[in-house]
Each structure stands twice: as structure tokens, then as C-alpha cells.
Structure 1
């Protein structure tokens, strides 16, 4: 139940998948809401603190997820050859967009040379600073990549429901409970 099999995903992958999905949609909603806050709003500093802390945590989870995926077998893909190719490309794009969103968020947050406090437990150092228009350019990339990530994630969910409801496959079930 901890390791993947040719039939399904193990618990670590399932938990990482759903934690990532929750973080992605939560961070998107929080980020969008934060842009409407006024300077004197009580969440003006607290919202970004949570956003950055959860974002760095998601980065760590994503690295762990990629390492775990590399070390484990992958369950047999369902669908036609074209559907399998589309699923592969879709998953690669999800990871690429996720990494672009996190890298651009890091560049926004560290543009002034200060590190990022992660839940007040430790600080992620500012390694890249002082680039011309760093916060502005990274902000634009962050916004558009975040929108793309959410749209692609919704397409990913729609495809899972299509495979489950229309094709009668266990694709969705495999990501909710380990199959042996």
C-alpha cells in the first residue's frame, strides 16, 4: 500500500497528489484575493506570509513527489495511445507550470534581497536579487503561469472524470485508494 504497483498508486503518491491540488487551488484563491487588499487591511501582511510559506512547502512537496515518482514504478496507463500521449504531455506541463509558478513567486518575494520566512520556522535565503525589473517581470510570469496551472489542473480533473464516468476505467479510483 506504500509502494506503487502496475495497477495503482501507493499512499504516498495519493497523499502528495491531493495535498498539491489543495495547495494549488488554495494558493491561487489566496493570491487573487490578496491583490484586492488595502494597505491597512489586517491581512495585508498576513496573506502574503501564508502564501509564501505554503508556496515554499509546496515546492518541497513537489521535489519529494518528483523524486518519489522517479524511484517508483508507474501504474499502467489507460486509454488509447493518443490518450496516453496526451496524459504524459499534460502531466509534464503540470509539473513545468508548477515549477515556473514557484520559481517566479520566489523571484518576486526575494527581489528586495530579503529571504522568505517559512511559517516563522526558517528562512529561505534570497539567492537571486537585483535583476532589472525582477519583481514586475516575475509577477507577470507568476500570474499567467498560475492561471495556466489552474486551467490545466481543471482539465486534468475533467479528464479523470471522463475516464471514470464515460469510459468506466479506474483512473480516478486509483488516485483515491491504492489498488493491488
Structure 2
């Protein structure tokens, strides 16, 4: 399998980034949902937010790389069997997925840095606050972050169901292309 995509197939780089982002988004969602209910004496009370923030910032970096890669290496053409409305809806869904991911990541960053503090990414390096102390930013960013997280997961589930529909009902190569199993 080639690293770069062709007119008919996804390359290894796009496939790997797609699945890494998907797994990370769901992992962050479940970790975030779990950690908001932790008690002060729970062993994960301090480490879960640290892990969540660190992975979130690494995901932001991966998403920037993914956008650049996609700009330099466009996705394969839609399958000939895809209807025009399916192609348009897929483009809209992908754009909204990207928007929700970036909005969720930036709002998460703003939650943690609204008091002017930096974020230590697995104690490897620190990402400083770009806002300094801003009153009520943490609360507003928290609402946006929560809304984006739930919307993103909901849309990602619909995205997965659409891929399954293409595989089971339409019997086309849509899902197989993103798994790197396409015959073409």
C-alpha cells in the first residue's frame, strides 16, 4: 500500500490518521465523561485531567498535520455508484466533523488556560496560555467544549453508520477503501 492516496484509493497516511483520530476522539470523550464525576480522593482525580489535556493537545497537533496532508494529498474521487446527494452530504459531514474537532480542542485548551496557566503535555513540554487571565472564559469554553464533544460523537456515529450502510446495503467499496482493503 502506498503512503499517498491515489485517484481511487486512500493512502496509508490518510487511513492511519483517520483511525488514530477516531480512536482518540472516542477515548477522550469517554475519559472526559468519566473524569467529571471523580471524587477528590479518587486516584484518577488529578491524573485523568492531565492525561485528557495532554492527549487533546497532541490530537490538535495531529489534526493540523492531517489538514496539511489532506491539502497536499487530496482524498480519492467518490465512487461512481455514489449519488450526488450522498457526495454533497459526505462533504458537509466531513467539514462539520473537522469544525467540531477543532472547536472542541481549542475550547478544551481555553478551559485549562483561562486562569493564565500553561498545560504540561505529559511533562514533555508546556503549552502556554495565549489569553492570560480572562474572567468567565473557563465557564464559556466549558459549555462549548461539552456541546462540541457530544455533537462530535453523535456525528461520528452517524458517519460510521453511513459507512456500514455503504458496505452492507450498497455493497460498495466505501468502507473497504478506508480500511485499506479496496480491490482498486
Q: TM-score, length-normalised on structure 2?
A: 0.95
CA contact (8 A) 1:9 1:178 kept: no
Give the total of aligned pairs.
180
Which residue number in structure 2 is paired with residue 84 of structure 1?
87
8 Å contact from structure 2 (residues 111, 141) kept in 1: yes
- How big is the shift at 1:129? 2.8
Residue number in structure 1 paired with 2:19: 18
Any residues of structure 2 matched to 1:60-71 within 5 Å, and which? 60-71=61-72
**Offset of residue 132 of structure 1:** 2.8
2:108 paired with 1:105: yes
1-structure distance, mates of 2:43, 2:37: 12
* CA deviation after TM superposition for structure 1 residue 103, in Å: 0.6
Is this contact kept in 2: 1:8–1:178, CA < 8 A? no
After superposition, the C-alpha distances for 1:62-113 in whole angstroms (9 at most, x for unaligned) are 0000000000132111311110000000000000000000010000010111
**Any stretches of 5+ residues in structure 2 without a counterpart?**
none
- Alpha-carbon offset, residue 139 of structure 1: 0.4
What SS class does the counterpart of residue 136 from structure 1 fall into? helix
2:106 equivalent to 1:133: no
TM, length-normalised to structure 1: 0.97
Cα deviation for residue 178 of structure 1 reads 6.1
Shift of 1:25: 0.3
Mapped to 2, the partners of 1:129 and 1:77 lie a distance apart of 45
> For 2:47 and 2:75, how far apart are their aligned partners in 1?
40
**Structure 1 segments of 4+ aligned residues over 3 angstroms from their partners:** none
Matched with 2:35 is 34
- 1:143 pairs, out of 128, 143, 146, with 146
Specify every segment of 5 or more residues in structure 1 that has no aligned partner in the other structure, as ranges: none
- Is 2:173 aligned against 1:157? no
Q: How does 1:168-179 map to 2 (within 5 A)?
A: 168-177=171-180, 179=182
CA shift for structure 1 position 39: 1.1
Aligned equivalent of 1:121: 124
Structure-2 change in CA distance of 1:77 and 1:65 (3 Å): same
- Contact 2:115 2:134 (8 Å CA) reproduced: no
